[in-house]
Amino acid sequence: MPTIKITTKINAPIGRVFDLARSIELHTISTAQTNEKAIAGVTTGLISLNETVTWRAKHFGIDQTLTSIITEIEKPNYFVDEMVHGAFKDFKHSHRFTQNGKEVFMLDLFEYSSPFGWLGVMADKLFLKNYMTRLLEKRNKTIKEFAESNKWKLILDSTTNLKSNGY
């Protein structure tokens, strides 16, 4: 099973980074190159435990849908989403957040299996793992950009009691 591990250092409060990582709107912004849109389940706001989202996107020139569910969450330290339906045989994406002074270390651990037996294994080695790594790196770059600037205010609900949520 291929595994992608990415650590991103972000200079922002942990609660802000955690919520930006769960934001449907920010996910959509970070995947603009694939025209990703939430079409079912939670389609706006912050996704939470046992909630699903179905995404429609274009990858490799093919329209695809993928549904995932949040299976674990401990605010603001981690959450896990797992595929319910989609192009992969399965996947589990763990998001971990650690505060160290003014910095947050955001760790993505993306474990997946491709369909189609040995053809899927070949696709992983030839292009899929690199493609998924670039997609996750782009997403993390967007989270970092928004968290470290005032752009986060465009995404997170301004009516939330920001101080109590660690922003």
Q: What is the pLDDT of residues 103-158, one digit of tens each?
A: 999 999 999 988 877 877 777 777 889 999 999 999 999 999 999 999 999 999 74
Looking at domain 3-158, its CATH architecture is 2-Layer Sandwich (3.30)
Pair of tokens at residue 158: 């301004």
> Tell me, what's the pLDDT at 88?
87
The tens digit of pLDDT for each residue in 10-43 reads 999 999 999 999 999 999 999 999 999 999 999 9
Which residues are CB-neighbours of 147 under 8 A, at least 6 positions away? Answer: 10, 11, 12, 16, 17, 20, 104
Parse the chain into domains and list their residue ranges: 3-158
Distance of alpha carbon 146 from alpha carbon 11, whole angstroms: 11
pLDDT mean over 56-63: 87
> Tell me, what's the pLDDT at 49?
98
Distance of alpha carbon 32 from alpha carbon 18, whole angstroms: 21
> Tell me, what's the pLDDT at 110?
96
